[in-house]
A and B are shown apart, each in its own frame.
Chain A
Amino acid sequence: MNWVGRRLPRSEDPPLLRGEGRYVPDIAIGARAVRFLRSPVAAGRILALRPPAEMPPGCLFVTGADMAGVQPIKPGLRRFNYRAVEQPVLPTERVHFVGQAIAAMVAPSAALAEDLLETCELDIAAEDPVVGFDAALTPGAPLVHPIAPGNVAVEGELRPEGFAETLAAAAHVVEFAFRSGRQSAMPLEGRGGVAEYDRATGRIRLSASAQMPHQLRTGIAQLLGMPEADLQVIAPDVGGGFGQKIALLPEYPVLVWLARKHRGRFAWVEDRNENLIASAHSRDQRHALRAGFDAEGRLLALEADILADVGAFSVFPTTCAVEPLMALAEYPGPYKVPAYAVRARGVLTHTCPMAPYRGVSRPVITFGIERLMDRAAAVLGLAPDEIRRRNLHDAFPARSATGMVLDEASYIEALDEAMRILDVPAFRARQEAARAEGRYLGLGLSVFNERTGYGTPAFAARSMDVVPGYEVVDIAMLPSGEVEARIGSSPHGQGLRTTLSQIIADRLGLDPGAIRIIHGDTDRTPYGWGSFASRSLVIGGGACQVAADRLADKLRRGAARLLQCEPSEVALRDGQAVAGAASMPIAELARLAHQRSELLSDAIGFNLAETGQYDPGGTFSNACHAAIVEVEAETGHVRVERYLVVEDAGRIINPMIADGQVQGGVAQGIANALFEEVIYAPDGTPLTGTLADYTPPTCAEIPEIEIHHLETISEATITGAKGLGEGGSIGAPAAIVNAISDALSPFGVDVAEFPATPPRIRALIRGRAPRA
C-alpha cells in the first residue's frame, strides 16, 4: 500500500472542527493578564514613565529599568556592511516606532490592565521621524540609529567586470522602476504567549504562537541570561504564521521574565491593532531595473538597484537583511542572465520592523522581472510567452548568475502547458470584442522558480550568526507497534502530521494511523528550526524518511532473527514483516523487542528507536501563473476572472494538501496584489490599524484557482519532493498586475506599483482616452 501520493484526509482536523483545538488564547484563560504600553510617537526620547498613582492589588507595572541586565535583541550578520542594530526588550531612553512596547501592565484581567494603561504617565519628547525611503536617504537625514550612517543597515553589491560594456552593447535596453507596498502576513490568530513558573522544578513553560519554538527558547534564554534547560517552549495549535511568527519580538522575553521573577503564570494575547502595527511587516521595497536584450529578445544583462525599508530594528534570528539580500541573490529567477549587477540596501526608518512573509522578497523580484519581460516583449514586438521562452533555463543543472545551482525543473514545460490550457487566441478575440464595448480584459503571466528545502549550506552563505538548515527526527516504535516521530519542525496549518505520517507509513509498511507526529514542544522534540521557507515537508520529511529507513532496517534485522532468514529477505508491508511464506505482525515484533529482549537484543539492541538527520542543499520548484482580469475603467475595480497555476513541486506527498497550499498562497498573493497595504502617515502614525483598513479579501474577491501539476522528481532531495508553501504568493502579484497592464494597454499606461488599488488605477488612467 503506497500512502505517498494519496489525498489522505488530515488527522489534524477533527479536534479543530469540534472547537477543541488549543491555541494560546485558550491556554491564557486564568493567567494574570499582561498588556503593553506602546509608543504613540514614531521617534522620541522618553522623559517620564510612571504607573498610575494607585495600583490595585495583584497589579504590576514593569519597565525596561526593572529589567536591567536583560540583553537587547541583537541578531548578527558578518557581511554586507551589516550594522548590528540593538533593540532593547523594553526601551528606557528612546522610542523608534509607533506601537513599540515601552512597559508591561499586569492585572487580573486584560480589561483592568488596559484601564490602568490609560492612566500611566508617559512623557516623550517627540523628534522628527524618518518615514519612507526619501526621508531616510536624504543626505543629512536624522539617523534612526547612530550605528548606521545614512540609515543604511545593510548593503550588498555585485558588479562583474565589463558589465557596463555588456549593457551598452545591447540592442535594446528596457527599464522598469516600481514600488511594492508594505504588507502584513496577518495570521488570523495574532501572536501571544503564556509563561508559567513551575514551583516543583523551577522551570518556565512558555506556550507561544510561534513558528520556531527551539529558536525562541535559545534566544530568550540568551536575552535573560537564564539556563536554557529551565525554559520549555511549546507551540500549541498556531493560527497561521506565514513568517511573522518566526520573529523573537520583545513581548515573549517580558513574559518569561515576569514568570521567573514573580513565580506565576502570565499571559499576553495580542490584539489585532497590535498585530497590524507592532508585529512584523514586510515587502516595503523600491526597485529600479535596467535590462539589455539582443535583437532576438535574449537577455544579455540585468541591473537591479534594490531598496528595502527594514523598519526600526533587526528581527531575531533572520536579521533585517533577509529581504534585501534575498532580492540580491535571487533576482534572475528562472532566467538565463549572463551578466548581473545589483546593489541592495536595507534602509532603517521609524516604522515597525520587518520579518519574512510568505515568499520573502520573491513576490517583489518576480513582480519586477515579470513586468520587465512584458515591457521588453512590447518593445521587441514579441508575445509575452515567447520572450520568456527565449530566456528560461532549459538545461539542468544550471547555474544562476549568483552561483546557485538550479536543479532539474520544468520552466518551459510549465509555460507551454499554461498557454495550451489558456487558449490565448480565443482570449485575444474576446479581449478585442470587449474593448469595443468599453470593457477592459487583460491576460497576465508570471513565471518563476522558488528555492525551497535549502539546508545549512545555503543559509551559511548568508553569514548570519544563527544559521538554520538541518532537521532531526527521533523515531521510536512503542511495544504496541505504534510509532512516535518527534520532529524539530513546527507546523501551523500545513498538515505536517498527516503528510509526514504518509512518508513514514510507506517506509515501515504501516497504516498512517499508527504513526504519531510529535511537534512544537522543546521538551519532547529534537532541536530544530521550524516551519518556514517552504522547507518542512522537504527537510523534516527527508529526516523522517531517513529515521524511518533506519527503523525499518532494525525491524528487518529483528524479524530475520525470528523468521530465521536474512534481513534482506524481509519486507515490511500491511503491518506485517514478510519473508517468503513466513510472516509476523510488526506489532508482535515490537512487543518482543521490548518485553522479550532476550530473543532479539543481540540483533537489534534494547529499543526500536532511531534518529534521522537531513540537511539538503536545496531544490527549486517552479510554476507558471496566469491571470485574466477585467478592469472597470470608471472605478478602477479589478475583478479576477480566471486564475491558472501550472506548478511543479516534484513528488507530491498529499495532492489535497498541496493544492490547499497553492490555493491559500495564491489568495494571499492576490490580496497583496490588489488590496492589502500597511500605510503610514508622514509622521509615522500607522493608518491601517484594523482589518477594515487593511482590507484582506473575502471569498467574494478570490476566484476559483485552477491547479495543474507537473512532477519533476527532484534528485536534490531524498523524497523527490520540492517545497511549495510560498509559490502561490510569489507568482500572484506579477500575474495580476501584468493582466491589469494588459487590460489597460489601450490607455498607454503601465502599472508600476502593488497593491494596484482602485484609486491607483483611476489615477493612472484619469484624463486618458483609450486608443481605438
Chain B
Amino acid sequence: MTEVRFTVNGTAQCVEVEPRLTLADMLREECGLTGTHLGCEHGVCGACTVLMDGLPVRSCLVFGVQAEGAEIRTVEGLAAADGTLNVLQRAFQAQHGLQCGFCTPGFLMLATWLLEQKEGVDEARLREVLASNLCRCTGYQNILAAVRVAAQEIRVWREG
C-alpha cells in the first residue's frame, strides 16, 4: 500500500492505496466521491473526466498514486455548499442537457475546464472539445447548447 496526499475540491486528503488503483476508483472508494462515473475504464467515453492540476484527465487512465501532491476537482465541487447549482449546472438543466445523468459529471468537468480557458469558446472549439466524451441519451445537441449558454452567461462566448 502506498500513501497518497492530494486535495479534492480544496479539501486535503491522505489515503493508503494499492499502486494499481486508478484515480477514479480512489476518488470513488477512498474519498466517497461517487459522482465520478466509470463508463468504459479504457479511456474512450470520458464519463470519469476530472480536473487534475487544472487539466481534464480520464481518471480511469490515471493511477491514484500519480495524484500525489495534485489538486483534483470533481463534479461534487461545482455546486455551492448549500447545493445551489452553478451557472453551468443550471444551463444543463435549463437546456435539458442530461437524461440518465451517467455521462453528465464527465461533461460538466470537461466543460468547466473549457469555460476557464482564457481564449474563450467558439462553436468550432466547443464541438472539438466536447467530442472528447460520449453520451448515449441526448444526441449531444442539448449538451452543446448548455455549454454555449453558460459561456454566453459568463461572457466567454465568441461568435465564430
Nearest B residue to A670 via CB reads B139
CB-based contact A704/B141 at 8 Å: yes
CB-based contact A690/B44 at 8 Å: yes
Interface residues of B in 128-145 (CB under 8 A from A): 128, 130-144
- Is the C-beta of A13 less than 8 angstroms from some C-beta in chain B? yes
Nearest A residue to B133 via CB reads A698
CB-based contact B99/A699 at 8 Å: no
Among A25, A29, A239, which residue has the most Cβ atoms of chain B within 10 A? A239
Closest chain A CB from B73 CB (angstroms): 11
Cβ contacts under 8 Å, B36 to chain A: 19
- Is the C-beta of A118 less than 8 angstroms from some C-beta in chain B? no
Per the bound structure, the CA–CA distance linking A485 and B36 in Å amounts to 31
Cβ contacts under 8 Å, B103 to chain A: 188
User: Which of A345-353, A430-438, A488-496, A733-741 lies at the binding interface?
Assistant: A488-496
User: Which of B86-94, B114-122, B152-160 lies at the binding interface?
Assistant: B86-94
Cβ contacts under 8 Å, B108 to chain A: 17
User: Interface residue tally of chain A, by bracket?
Assistant: 35 or more
Per the bound structure, the CA–CA distance linking A698 and B144 in Å amounts to 11
Per the bound structure, the CA–CA distance linking A240 and B132 in Å amounts to 20
CB-based contact A17/B85 at 8 Å: yes
CB-based contact B83/A18 at 8 Å: yes
Per the bound structure, the CA–CA distance linking A495 and B99 in Å amounts to 7
- Is the C-beta of B47 less than 8 angstroms from some C-beta in chain A? yes
- Is the C-beta of A660 less than 8 angstroms from some C-beta in chain B? yes
- Is the C-beta of A23 less than 8 angstroms from some C-beta in chain B? yes
CB-based contact A700/B127 at 8 Å: yes
- With beta carbons under 8 angstroms apart, the residue of A26, A493, A696 that contacts B134 is A696
CB-based contact A188/B92 at 8 Å: no
Per the bound structure, the CA–CA distance linking A33 and B125 in Å amounts to 42
Closest chain A CB from B70 CB (angstroms): 19
Among A240, A492, A665, which residue has the most Cβ atoms of chain B within 10 A? A240
Closest chain B CB from A696 CB (angstroms): 6
- With beta carbons under 8 angstroms apart, the residue of A14, A111, A663 that contacts B93 is A14
CB-based contact A9/B99 at 8 Å: no
Closest chain B CB from A235 CB (angstroms): 12
CB-based contact A17/B89 at 8 Å: yes
CB-based contact A10/B96 at 8 Å: yes
Contact with B along A665-683 (1 / 0, CB 8 A): 1111000000000000000
Cβ contacts under 8 Å, B113 to chain A: none
Cβ contacts under 8 Å, A29 to chain B: 28-29, 34
Nearest A residue to B77 via CB reads A19
- Is the C-beta of B112 less than 8 angstroms from some C-beta in chain A? no
Q: A13-B98, A188-B45 are in contact. Are A660 and B138 (CB under 8 A)?
A: yes
Nearest A residue to B35 via CB reads A19
Closest chain A CB from B37 CB (angstroms): 7
CB-based contact A494/B28 at 8 Å: no
- Is the C-beta of B105 less than 8 angstroms from some C-beta in chain A? yes
CB-based contact B18/A111 at 8 Å: yes
CB-based contact B136/A699 at 8 Å: no
- Is the C-beta of B100 less than 8 angstroms from some C-beta in chain A? yes
Cβ contacts under 8 Å, B144 to chain A: 699
CB-based contact A667/B101 at 8 Å: no
- Is the C-beta of B61 less than 8 angstroms from some C-beta in chain A? no
- Is the C-beta of B15 less than 8 angstroms from some C-beta in chain A? no
Per the bound structure, the CA–CA distance linking A665 and B138 in Å amounts to 8
CB-based contact A691/B134 at 8 Å: yes
Cβ contacts under 8 Å, A10 to chain B: 93, 96
- Is the C-beta of B76 less than 8 angstroms from some C-beta in chain A? yes
CB-based contact A698/B35 at 8 Å: no
Q: A660-B142, A702-B139 are in contact. Are A19 and B28 (CB under 8 A)?
A: no
Interface residues of A in 378-412 (CB under 8 A from B): none
Per the bound structure, the CA–CA distance linking A26 and B45 in Å amounts to 18
Q: A19-B33, A657-B96, A660-B99 are in contact. Are A698 and B131 (CB under 8 A)?
A: yes
Nearest B residue to A239 via CB reads B102
Cβ contacts under 8 Å, B127 to chain A: 699-700
Q: A9-B94, A188-B45 are in contact. Are A666 and B38 (CB under 8 A)?
A: no
Cβ contacts under 8 Å, B44 to chain A: 690-692
CB-based contact A239/B100 at 8 Å: yes
Cβ contacts under 8 Å, A242 to chain B: 136
CB-based contact A492/B35 at 8 Å: no
CB-based contact B132/A23 at 8 Å: no
- With beta carbons under 8 angstroms apart, the residue of A188, A240, A667, A691 that contacts B42 is A691
Among B92, B99, B134, B135, which residue has the most Cβ atoms of chain A within 10 A? B99
- Is the C-beta of A20 less than 8 angstroms from some C-beta in chain B? yes
CB-based contact B136/A668 at 8 Å: yes
Per the bound structure, the CA–CA distance linking A330 and B56 in Å amounts to 47
Q: A29-B28, A699-B143 are in contact. Are A272 and B79 (CB under 8 A)?
A: no
- Is the C-beta of A40 less than 8 angstroms from some C-beta in chain B? no
Q: A188-B102, A660-B142, A664-B99 are in contact. Are A18 and B79 (CB under 8 A)?
A: yes
- Is the C-beta of A189 less than 8 angstroms from some C-beta in chain B? yes
- Is the C-beta of B71 less than 8 angstroms from some C-beta in chain A? no
Closest chain A CB from B36 CB (angstroms): 7
Cβ contacts under 8 Å, B102 to chain A: 21, 23, 187-189, 237, 239-240
CB-based contact B99/A493 at 8 Å: yes
Among A17, A25, A696, which residue has the most Cβ atoms of chain B within 10 A? A17
Among A494, A667, A691, A699, which residue has the most Cβ atoms of chain B within 10 A? A699
- Is the C-beta of A763 less than 8 angstroms from some C-beta in chain B? no
Cβ contacts under 8 Å, B29 to chain A: 29
Q: A18-B79, A25-B34 are in contact. Are A667 and B139 (CB under 8 A)?
A: yes
Per the bound structure, the CA–CA distance linking A667 and B76 in Å amounts to 29
- Is the C-beta of A715 less than 8 angstroms from some C-beta in chain B? no
Per the bound structure, the CA–CA distance linking A699 and B128 in Å amounts to 8
CB-based contact A660/B40 at 8 Å: no
Interface residues of A in 481-505 (CB under 8 A from B): 492-495
- With beta carbons under 8 angstroms apart, the residue of A272, A493, A665 that contacts B101 is A493
CB-based contact A17/B79 at 8 Å: yes
CB-based contact A240/B142 at 8 Å: no
Cβ contacts under 8 Å, B134 to chain A: 188, 691, 696, 698
Cβ contacts under 8 Å, B20 to chain A: 111
- Is the C-beta of B26 less than 8 angstroms from some C-beta in chain A? no
CB-based contact B100/A19 at 8 Å: no
Per the bound structure, the CA–CA distance linking A14 and B104 in Å amounts to 11
- Is the C-beta of A769 less than 8 angstroms from some C-beta in chain B? no
Cβ contacts under 8 Å, A495 to chain B: 99
Cβ contacts under 8 Å, B96 to chain A: 9-10, 656-657, 659-660
CB-based contact B104/A16 at 8 Å: yes
- Is the C-beta of B57 less than 8 angstroms from some C-beta in chain A? no
Per the bound structure, the CA–CA distance linking A271 and B36 in Å amounts to 16
Closest chain B CB from A316 CB (angstroms): 24
- Is the C-beta of A304 less than 8 angstroms from some C-beta in chain B? no
Per the bound structure, the CA–CA distance linking A696 and B136 in Å amounts to 8
CB-based contact B93/A699 at 8 Å: no
- Is the C-beta of B74 less than 8 angstroms from some C-beta in chain A? yes
Nearest A residue to B22 via CB reads A111
Closest chain B CB from A37 CB (angstroms): 19
- Is the C-beta of B51 less than 8 angstroms from some C-beta in chain A? no
- Is the C-beta of B151 less than 8 angstroms from some C-beta in chain A? no
CB-based contact A18/B42 at 8 Å: no
- Is the C-beta of A127 less than 8 angstroms from some C-beta in chain B? no
Cβ contacts under 8 Å, A111 to chain B: 18, 20-21
Per the bound structure, the CA–CA distance linking A271 and B42 in Å amounts to 10
Using A17-B89, A18-B85 as known contacts, list a sample of 18 further A-B pairs with CB atoms less than 8 Å apart, ordered by residue number in A.
Answer: A10-B93, A17-B104, A17-B108, A19-B36, A20-B76, A22-B34, A23-B37, A111-B21, A188-B37, A189-B39, A239-B39, A495-B99, A663-B138, A691-B45, A696-B134, A698-B134, A699-B144, A702-B140
Chain A to chain B contacts (Cβ below 8 Å), 10 pairs? A18-B79, A19-B36, A20-B35, A20-B76, A494-B99, A660-B138, A664-B139, A696-B134, A699-B143, A700-B131
Residues on B facing A (Cβ under 8 Å): 18, 20-21, 28-29, 33-42, 44-45, 47, 74-76, 78-79, 83, 85, 89, 92-94, 96, 98-105, 108, 127-128, 130-144
Which 7 pairs between the two chains have the least Cβ-Cβ distance?
A: A19-B35, A239-B102, A493-B100, A667-B139, A16-B101, A19-B75, A663-B139
